[in-house]
Chain A
Protein backbone atom coordinates (compact mmCIF):
# COMPACT_ATOMS: atom_id res chain seq x y z
CA UNK A 1 0.00 0.00 0.00
CA UNK A 2 2.82 2.38 0.74
CA UNK A 3 4.26 1.47 -2.65
CA UNK A 4 0.99 2.28 -4.44
CA UNK A 5 0.69 5.67 -2.75
CA UNK A 6 4.37 6.38 -3.43
CA UNK A 7 3.84 5.65 -7.12
CA UNK A 8 0.82 7.99 -7.19
CA UNK A 9 2.88 10.70 -5.58
CA UNK A 10 5.78 10.14 -7.99
CA UNK A 11 3.35 10.54 -10.89
CA UNK A 12 2.05 13.75 -9.32
CA UNK A 13 5.60 15.04 -8.98
CA UNK A 14 6.22 14.33 -12.66
CA UNK A 15 3.06 16.24 -13.62
CA UNK A 16 3.99 19.18 -11.37
CA UNK A 17 7.46 19.21 -12.91
CA UNK A 18 5.90 19.29 -16.38
CA UNK A 19 3.87 22.32 -15.37
CA UNK A 20 6.95 23.96 -13.83
CA UNK A 21 8.82 23.53 -17.11
CA UNK A 22 5.92 24.54 -19.38
CA UNK A 23 4.12 27.13 -17.23
CA UNK A 24 3.73 30.34 -19.20
CA UNK A 25 4.03 32.76 -16.30
CA UNK A 26 6.38 32.73 -13.33
CA UNK A 27 3.41 32.20 -11.00
CA UNK A 28 2.54 28.92 -12.73
CA UNK A 29 6.06 27.79 -12.00
CA UNK A 30 5.82 28.83 -8.35
CA UNK A 31 2.52 26.96 -7.92
CA UNK A 32 4.06 23.87 -9.49
CA UNK A 33 7.21 24.03 -7.35
CA UNK A 34 5.12 24.51 -4.21
CA UNK A 35 3.01 21.46 -5.06
CA UNK A 36 6.20 19.55 -5.87
CA UNK A 37 7.57 20.39 -2.41
CA UNK A 38 4.40 19.20 -0.67
CA UNK A 39 4.56 15.95 -2.63
CA UNK A 40 8.20 15.58 -1.61
CA UNK A 41 7.21 15.83 2.04
CA UNK A 42 4.56 13.14 1.59
CA UNK A 43 6.97 10.94 -0.36
CA UNK A 44 9.59 11.25 2.38
CA UNK A 45 7.07 10.23 5.04
CA UNK A 46 5.89 7.28 2.94
CA UNK A 47 9.49 6.20 2.25
CA UNK A 48 10.17 6.29 5.98
CA UNK A 49 7.33 3.83 6.52
CA UNK A 50 8.25 1.78 3.46
CA UNK A 51 11.84 1.21 4.56
CA UNK A 52 10.96 1.18 8.28
CA UNK A 53 13.25 4.09 9.08
CA UNK A 54 11.48 6.73 11.20
CA UNK A 55 14.35 9.21 10.74
CA UNK A 56 12.83 10.17 7.40
CA UNK A 57 10.05 11.98 9.24
CA UNK A 58 12.51 14.51 10.64
CA UNK A 59 13.69 15.26 7.13
CA UNK A 60 10.08 15.61 5.99
CA UNK A 61 9.31 18.01 8.83
CA UNK A 62 12.33 20.13 7.96
CA UNK A 63 11.51 20.07 4.25
CA UNK A 64 7.99 21.24 5.02
CA UNK A 65 9.34 24.40 6.64
CA UNK A 66 11.98 24.99 3.97
CA UNK A 67 9.33 24.64 1.26
CA UNK A 68 7.13 27.29 2.84
CA UNK A 69 10.00 29.71 3.45
CA UNK A 70 11.29 29.16 -0.08
CA UNK A 71 7.90 29.82 -1.68
CA UNK A 72 7.41 33.04 0.28
CA UNK A 73 10.97 34.17 -0.47
CA UNK A 74 10.62 33.57 -4.22
CA UNK A 75 7.23 35.33 -4.22
CA UNK A 76 8.67 38.32 -2.42
CA UNK A 77 11.54 38.46 -4.86
CA UNK A 78 9.23 38.28 -7.85
CA UNK A 79 6.83 40.86 -6.44
CA UNK A 80 9.27 43.49 -5.18
CA UNK A 81 12.46 42.62 -7.10
CA UNK A 82 14.34 42.33 -3.80
CA UNK A 83 14.02 40.38 -0.57
CA UNK A 84 13.71 43.35 1.78
CA UNK A 85 10.08 44.24 1.06
CA UNK A 86 7.99 46.97 -0.55
CA UNK A 87 9.58 49.95 1.15
CA UNK A 88 13.08 49.24 -0.13
CA UNK A 89 11.90 48.66 -3.69
CA UNK A 90 9.78 51.79 -3.80
CA UNK A 91 12.87 53.96 -3.39
CA UNK A 92 14.37 52.44 -6.49
CA UNK A 93 11.26 52.43 -8.66
CA UNK A 94 9.79 55.77 -7.71
CA UNK A 95 9.60 57.16 -11.21
CA UNK A 96 8.54 54.03 -13.07
CA UNK A 97 4.79 54.10 -12.31
Chain B
Protein backbone atom coordinates (compact mmCIF):
# COMPACT_ATOMS: atom_id res chain seq x y z
CA UNK B 1 0.00 0.00 0.00
CA UNK B 2 2.81 2.36 0.88
CA UNK B 3 4.55 1.47 -2.38
CA UNK B 4 1.41 2.24 -4.37
CA UNK B 5 1.11 5.62 -2.64
CA UNK B 6 4.77 6.36 -3.36
CA UNK B 7 4.44 5.51 -7.04
CA UNK B 8 1.27 7.60 -7.41
CA UNK B 9 2.79 10.59 -5.63
CA UNK B 10 6.02 10.37 -7.63
CA UNK B 11 4.03 10.24 -10.86
CA UNK B 12 2.02 13.29 -9.75
CA UNK B 13 5.14 15.27 -8.85
CA UNK B 14 7.01 14.49 -12.05
CA UNK B 15 4.00 15.11 -14.30
CA UNK B 16 3.37 18.38 -12.46
CA UNK B 17 6.98 19.37 -13.07
CA UNK B 18 6.55 18.53 -16.75
CA UNK B 19 3.47 20.74 -16.94
CA UNK B 20 5.49 23.55 -15.34
CA UNK B 21 8.17 23.06 -17.98
CA UNK B 22 5.51 23.16 -20.72
CA UNK B 23 4.19 26.43 -19.35
CA UNK B 24 7.72 27.86 -19.40
CA UNK B 25 8.23 26.78 -23.01
CA UNK B 26 4.87 28.29 -23.94
CA UNK B 27 5.83 31.50 -22.17
CA UNK B 28 8.85 31.82 -24.44
CA UNK B 29 7.38 30.53 -27.69
CA UNK B 30 3.86 31.98 -27.85
CA UNK B 31 3.28 35.07 -30.00
CA UNK B 32 1.43 37.67 -27.90
CA UNK B 33 0.54 38.62 -24.33
CA UNK B 34 -2.78 36.81 -24.20
CA UNK B 35 -1.47 33.49 -25.44
CA UNK B 36 1.45 33.81 -23.03
CA UNK B 37 -1.05 34.31 -20.22
CA UNK B 38 -2.71 31.09 -21.34
CA UNK B 39 0.64 29.29 -21.15
CA UNK B 40 1.44 30.73 -17.72
CA UNK B 41 -1.91 29.64 -16.31
CA UNK B 42 -1.06 26.04 -17.23
CA UNK B 43 1.73 26.04 -14.67
CA UNK B 44 -0.42 27.83 -12.10
CA UNK B 45 -3.22 25.27 -12.22
CA UNK B 46 -2.14 21.83 -13.43
CA UNK B 47 1.54 22.17 -12.54
CA UNK B 48 1.03 23.50 -9.03
CA UNK B 49 -2.01 21.29 -8.45
CA UNK B 50 -0.30 18.03 -9.43
CA UNK B 51 2.90 18.83 -7.52
CA UNK B 52 1.04 19.74 -4.35
CA UNK B 53 -1.26 16.71 -4.59
CA UNK B 54 1.81 14.53 -5.01
CA UNK B 55 3.47 16.11 -1.97
CA UNK B 56 0.23 15.68 -0.01
CA UNK B 57 0.32 11.95 -0.74
CA UNK B 58 3.88 11.92 0.65
CA UNK B 59 3.09 13.97 3.75
CA UNK B 60 -0.45 12.98 4.61
CA UNK B 61 -2.78 15.22 6.58
CA UNK B 62 -0.69 14.71 9.71
CA UNK B 63 -0.85 16.49 13.05
CA UNK B 64 2.24 18.56 12.26
CA UNK B 65 0.33 20.87 9.91
CA UNK B 66 2.47 19.97 6.87
CA UNK B 67 -0.49 18.73 4.87
CA UNK B 68 -2.73 21.55 6.04
CA UNK B 69 -0.21 24.13 4.88
CA UNK B 70 0.07 22.39 1.52
CA UNK B 71 -3.69 22.56 1.09
CA UNK B 72 -3.62 26.24 2.07
CA UNK B 73 -0.91 26.97 -0.51
CA UNK B 74 -2.95 25.19 -3.18
CA UNK B 75 -6.12 27.09 -2.25
CA UNK B 76 -4.31 30.43 -2.29
CA UNK B 77 -2.78 29.67 -5.68
CA UNK B 78 -6.13 28.59 -7.10
CA UNK B 79 -7.76 31.80 -5.86
CA UNK B 80 -5.08 34.33 -6.70
CA UNK B 81 -3.91 33.06 -10.10
CA UNK B 82 -7.20 33.61 -11.99
CA UNK B 83 -7.65 37.02 -10.36
CA UNK B 84 -4.17 38.15 -11.35
CA UNK B 85 -4.58 36.79 -14.90
CA UNK B 86 -7.95 38.45 -15.32
CA UNK B 87 -6.68 41.82 -14.10
CA UNK B 88 -3.64 41.50 -16.35
CA UNK B 89 -5.72 40.65 -19.43
CA UNK B 90 -8.07 43.56 -18.81
CA UNK B 91 -5.21 46.00 -18.28
CA UNK B 92 -3.40 44.79 -21.41
CA UNK B 93 -6.53 45.03 -23.57
CA UNK B 94 -7.47 48.49 -22.29
CA UNK B 95 -3.91 49.63 -22.91
CA UNK B 96 -4.27 48.63 -26.57
CA UNK B 97 -2.38 45.36 -26.89
CA UNK B 98 -3.65 43.61 -30.00
CA UNK B 99 -4.76 40.00 -29.50
CA UNK B 100 -3.53 37.44 -32.03
CA UNK B 101 -6.57 36.57 -34.13
CA UNK B 102 -7.25 33.47 -36.17
CA UNK B 103 -6.28 35.35 -39.33
CA UNK B 104 -2.66 35.43 -38.22
CA UNK B 105 -0.54 38.31 -37.04
CA UNK B 106 -2.69 41.40 -36.41
CA UNK B 107 -1.82 44.79 -37.80
CA UNK B 108 0.88 46.74 -36.04
CA UNK B 109 0.23 49.62 -33.70
CA UNK B 110 -1.91 49.99 -30.66
CA UNK B 111 -5.54 49.00 -30.54
CA UNK B 112 -7.77 52.07 -30.31
CA UNK B 113 -10.96 51.20 -28.45
CA UNK B 114 -12.44 54.57 -29.31
CA UNK B 115 -12.38 53.63 -32.99
CA UNK B 116 -15.56 51.65 -33.59
CA UNK B 117 -14.17 49.78 -36.59
CA UNK B 118 -10.98 48.83 -34.80
CA UNK B 119 -12.42 46.37 -32.31
CA UNK B 120 -14.55 44.29 -34.67
CA UNK B 121 -12.95 41.09 -33.52
CA UNK B 122 -14.11 41.78 -29.96
CA UNK B 123 -17.77 41.86 -30.93
CA UNK B 124 -20.08 39.04 -30.05
CA UNK B 125 -21.13 37.13 -33.16
CA UNK B 126 -24.62 36.50 -31.85
CA UNK B 127 -25.36 40.18 -31.28
CA UNK B 128 -23.68 42.23 -34.00
CA UNK B 129 -22.99 45.84 -33.13
CA UNK B 130 -22.79 45.28 -29.39
CA UNK B 131 -19.48 46.42 -27.95
CA UNK B 132 -17.47 44.21 -25.67
CA UNK B 133 -17.00 47.21 -23.38
CA UNK B 134 -20.45 48.73 -22.92
CA UNK B 135 -19.55 50.66 -19.77
CA UNK B 136 -16.68 52.34 -21.55
CA UNK B 137 -18.91 53.30 -24.43
CA UNK B 138 -21.25 54.94 -21.93
CA UNK B 139 -18.36 56.74 -20.26
CA UNK B 140 -17.38 58.48 -23.45
Residues of A that sit less than 8 Å from B by CB: 1-2, 4-9, 11-16, 18-19, 25, 27-28, 30-32, 34-35, 38-39, 41-42, 45-46, 49, 54, 57-58, 60-61, 64-65, 67-68, 71-72, 75, 78-79
| Interface residues in B17-52 (C-beta closer than 8 Å to A) | 17-18, 20-21, 23-25, 27-28, 33, 36-37, 40, 43-44, 47-48, 51-52
Give complex CA distance A73, B121 in Å.
30
Q: Are B55 and A45 in contact (CB under 8 A)?
A: yes
Q: Name the prevailing secondary structure of the B interface residues.
A: helix
What are 7 residue pairs bridging A and B, where the CB atoms are less than 8 Å apart in the complex?
A1-B14, A4-B14, A12-B20, A42-B48, A46-B55, A57-B73, A75-B88
Give complex CA distance A68, B24 in Å.
19
Known contacts A5-B14, A49-B58: A31-B27 contact under CB 8 Å: yes
Other than the given A1-B13, A31-B88, 16 more pairs (CB < 8 A) read A5-B17, A7-B17, A8-B20, A8-B21, A9-B20, A16-B27, A31-B36, A32-B27, A34-B88, A35-B40, A42-B51, A46-B51, A57-B73, A64-B80, A65-B76, A72-B84
Nearest A-chain residue to B62, judged by Cβ:
A54
Question: Does B124 count as interface, using CB distance less than 8 angstroms?
Answer: no
How many chain B residues touch A (Cβ–Cβ < 8 Å)? Answer: 47
Nearest A-chain residue to B89, judged by Cβ:
A27
Give the residue of B14, B28, B48 whose beta carbon is less than 8 angstroms from that of A19.
Answer: B28
Known contacts A5-B14, A16-B24, A75-B87: A27-B33 contact under CB 8 Å: yes
